[in-house]
Amino acid sequence: MTSNSRGLLTHSHRQVSLMFLLLVKFFIWSSFTLAATETSNLSKHPVVIIISYDGFRYDYMNKTSTPYLDQVKRNGVSVPYMRIQLSAFTYPNHQSIATGLYPEVHGIVANTMYDPLYDKELSGYVDEPGYWNFSSDSTATRSSVVPLYTSNELAGDGRYSGSMMWPAGQEGWGENNTKVTHLVNYNVSRWDWEWEVDQVMKWITHPTKPANLVYLYIEEPDYTGHRFGPEGPEIVQQIQRIDNVTGYLLTQLESLGLKDKVNLIFLSDHGMQEMKPLAIAKFMHVMDNTDNRMYHDYGRGSTFMQIRPVRENDTLRIFNAFNAAAKDNHYTVYLRDEVSKMKPHWHFAHNRRIMPIFMIPEPGYLFEGIAPRNYTWGTHGFDVDEPSMRPFFMAMGPLFKNNSVQEPFDNIDIYPLVCHILNIEPRPNNGSLERVLPLLASSATKASRMSLLLLAVLTGAVINVEAGGVINMIEIDFLKRTSILNEYEI
């Protein structure tokens, strides 16, 4: 073959490659955007709605008929239970879900807690300045924590977030104090779940700012679980109500032609433990603490007690006194500085809001400090390793597996998972994408990789998609591309 012929052939190959490149690029682009363009006003980005049913224990679906939740499980992916963070309360775990951070990192270690920086007890139940605004740097004026709903807004390119009564969703985060585009603050007087779903549908189909990420919080069955306990007929009624609102959500999506285009994540923040009448963990008799001469305590009448010694050098003495009385009084006492050795998986030590001593009662017991209750009720906040503290998790949508049960994972893993789905660079976090990648549909992953491979062999680049979604490109020649085509029978 003459050099001129080889040049013509090379030129021909380049023309063909260019034509195919344009076709393949169009194919890849259309495969990722077709679902969005088929439905008017839906975001061009993947759409994710995270629904939290507060206090929905991992086994609640076994208590009654739940046809709509069963439908989600059958058409999606689930796990036997999800692991949560200490302490087993609403605000710490919702913040961990939204940030991928341990409570010792994001600073929300309990629903109420003492902060030495402010020298007072802070509460998440009221609009308490400083409660959410935590930074390990005591001189910082803004928290370094940035939830995913804020990162989504900051990523730009038509990304908008919504917070429907999600804890801390009303706050501004990041360097510019950024807030979500679509917001409804928590309102105890509303509690109209169908209305909440309707608003979320309006957000994701907004004519100019369609939300591609929404966090939706519903306060049941936690409220009823507290009043009547997790084993009675009242909780069954609330589980059925939760199932009905799940069905309403699915119906609304279907009526808008979005059921197969929106990714749904159903989860909870913790479980619920039945409390027996008059089951009290006593601690106030252990030492004379008149006028707080020895220590300050935070958490009376709850399931999580923090102890702040008045004098630091009394810490071990106070710990030893409580520890000696612990077994007979139905609680366990921990030294903050020893927790990393005793319970390393708790990650509950390195934060100024965690007091030098803290105590957790046995399941079913409550620390003294309020009038004993002579009836059966329910609560949470116990050791997160207790089965009764485990919540549920299910997901359904175009990017999730179908009729699949996977291994339990940590709720902090949801953050890198959703970052991966939304193609957003995650901020530093404690979650593991590797643990939750098995939730995603393998067929979609294979299709994406095949499209990338086709692009590679036609344009001269090998594309290697690693487990974390990192893409590397290496130039190769035309003959090597031909070999790859033959190997993959393209």
Q: Among 128-142, 146-160, 298-312, 403-417, name the one with the lowest average pLDDT.
A: 128-142
Positive or negative, the CA dihedral 98, 101, 103, 106 is negative
For residues 464 and 366, state if they share a domain: no
Provide the pLDDT for residue 401.
98
Q: Is the pLDDT of residue 365 over 80?
A: yes
How many residues appear in the chain? 490
Q: Could you count the other beta carbons within 10 Å of the beta carbon of residue 136?
A: 14
Q: Which among 204, 238, 213, 243 is positioned nearest to 224, based on CA atoms?
A: 238
Provide the pLDDT for residue 322.
98
Is 225 within 8 Å of 204 (Cβ atoms)?
A: no
For residues 221 and 316, state if they share a domain: no
Provide the pLDDT for residue 431.
98
For residues 105 and 248, state if they share a domain: yes
Provide the pLDDT for residue 230.
98
For residues 140 and 253, state if they share a domain: yes
Q: Which among 281, 277, 272, 291 is positioned nearest to 369, based on CA atoms?
A: 281
**First-to-last C-alpha distance (Å) of the chain:** 28
Type of residue found at 337: D
Positive or negative, the CA dihedral 251, 255, 256, 261 is positive
Q: Is the pLDDT of residue 71 over 60?
A: yes
Task: Supply the pTM of this predicted model.
Answer: 0.84
Tens-digit pLDDT profile for residues 206-239: 999 999 999 999 999 999 999 999 999 999 999 9
Q: How far apart are alpha carbons 296 and 121 in whole angstroms?
A: 11
Q: How far apart are alpha carbons 370 and 32 in whole angstroms?
A: 56
How sure is the predictor about 6, in pLDDT bands with cuts at 50, 70 and 90? very low
For residues 63 and 184, state if they share a domain: yes
Tens-digit pLDDT profile for residues 418-449: 999 999 999 999 999 999 999 999 754 444 44
Pull the structure tokens for residue 358.
């803290």
Q: Is the pLDDT of residue 341 over 80?
A: yes
Region 365-378 average pLDDT: 90
Range of the domain at 345: 280-375
For the chain, percent of residues with pLDDT exceeding 70: 81
For residues 20 and 58, state if they share a domain: no
Provide the pLDDT for residue 406.
98
Region 293-322 average pLDDT: 97
For residues 204 and 265, state if they share a domain: yes
Q: Which of residues 32 and 314 earns the better pLDDT score? A: 314
Q: How far apart are alpha carbons 404 and 380 in whole angstroms?
A: 29
Q: How far apart are alpha carbons 35 and 43 in whole angstroms?
A: 9
Pull the structure tokens for residue 217.
């919080």
For residues 100 and 10, state if they share a domain: no
Is 382 within 8 Å of 279 (Cβ atoms)?
A: no
Provide the pLDDT for residue 190.
67
Tens-digit pLDDT profile for residues 223-232: 999 999 999 9
Q: Is the pLDDT of residue 464 over 50?
A: no
For residues 311 and 264, state if they share a domain: no
Tens-digit pLDDT profile for residues 469-490: 333 333 334 334 333 333 333 3
Provide the pLDDT for residue 443.
52
Q: Where are the alpha helices (DSSP H) in 100-232?
A: 103-106, 148-155, 193-204, 222-228
Q: Is the pLDDT of residue 262 over 60?
A: yes
Provide the pLDDT for residue 276.
86
Number of domains forming the structure of the chain: 3
Provide the pLDDT for residue 184.
96
Of 358, 375, 392, the residue at which a domain comes to its end is 375
Q: Which among 369, 353, 315, 423 is positioned nearest to 112, based on CA atoms?
A: 353
Q: How far apart are alpha carbons 408 and 393 in whole angstroms?
A: 9
Provide the pLDDT for residue 187.
77
Q: Which of residues 173 and 18 earns the better pLDDT score? A: 173
Beta strands in 88-150 (DSSP E): 112-115, 120-123
For residues 112 and 176, state if they share a domain: yes
Provide the pLDDT for residue 41.
86
Going by the DSSP 8-state scheme, the letter that residue 51 receives in this structure is E
DSSP string, 348-401: --SSTTS-SEEEEEPTT-EESSSPPPSS-EEE--S-TTSGGG-B-EEEESTTB-
Give kind and range of the element (H or E) at residue 265: strand 262-267
Of 348, 375, 402, the residue at which a domain comes to its end is 375
Of 375, 397, 414, the residue at which a domain comes to its end is 375
Strand 120-123 with 112-115, pairing:
antiparallel
How sure is the predictor about 1, in pLDDT bands with cuts at 50, 70 and 90? low
- Tell me the pLDDT of the chain averaged across its residues: 86
How sure is the predictor about 40, in pLDDT bands with cuts at 50, 70 and 90? low
Q: How far is CA 322 from the centre of its chain?
A: 35
Q: How far apart are alpha carbons 245 and 192 in whole angstroms?
A: 10
For residues 199 and 290, state if they share a domain: no
How sure is the predictor about 12, in pLDDT bands with cuts at 50, 70 and 90? very low
For residues 434 and 449, state if they share a domain: no
Q: Which of residues 119 and 16 earns the better pLDDT score? A: 119
Q: Is 466 exposed, middle or buried (0-12, 13-18, 19+ CB in 10 A)?
A: exposed
Q: Where are the alpha helices (DSSP H) in 112-232?
A: 148-155, 193-204, 222-228
Strand 357-361 with 331-335, pairing:
antiparallel
CATH number, domain with residue 434: 3.40.720.10
For residue 43, whether the previous peptide bond is cis, meaning omega lies within 30 degrees of 0, is no
CATH number, domain with residue 337: 3.30.1360.180
